[in-house]
Amino acid sequence: MVIIHSIIQFSLIVTLFIFFAGLFGIFVFRRNLINVLIAIELLFLSCSLFFVFFSLYLNDIVGQIFALFIVCVAAAESSIALALLTIKFRLVGQITVDYLNKLKG
């Protein structure tokens, strides 16, 4: 039982590290939208790993199903964001946050 608790503690530390790396990426690289998108994907990844680890710890499949939904939402978010970035690059010629208001109407 002690080994299981140490594995859970290690996995929670890893997920927290990934989560804070995503937060750090959002605040530091907020000028480039692709880096912000990668940081948001790290946030989604850490949340889904958190659910998977606790699902394994509790011997319940609900957390794994919820993690699957999180991965699906992250994929949809990523595809829509990349489509918007492609449109923005065609209009402006660069992918920075400074000219984001050019996408309006």
Domains of the chain from N-terminus onward? 2-95 (1.10.287.3510)
> How many CA atoms are closer than 13 Å to the CA of 42, on its beta-carbon side?
19
Question: pLDDT tens digits, residue range 17-64?
Answer: 999 999 999 999 888 888 888 999 999 999 999 999 889 888 889 999
Q: Which of 99, 70, 95 is nearest to 82 (CA)?
A: 95
Question: Within the chain, where are the H helices?
Answer: 2-28, 33-58, 62-92
Q: Supply the pLDDT for residue 100.
A: 64
Sorted by sequence, the CB contacts under 8 Å of residue 69 that are 6+ apart come out as none
pLDDT of 98 over the 90 cut: no
Sorted by sequence, the CB contacts under 8 Å of residue 62 that are 6+ apart come out as 55
Q: Supply the pLDDT for residue 91.
A: 80
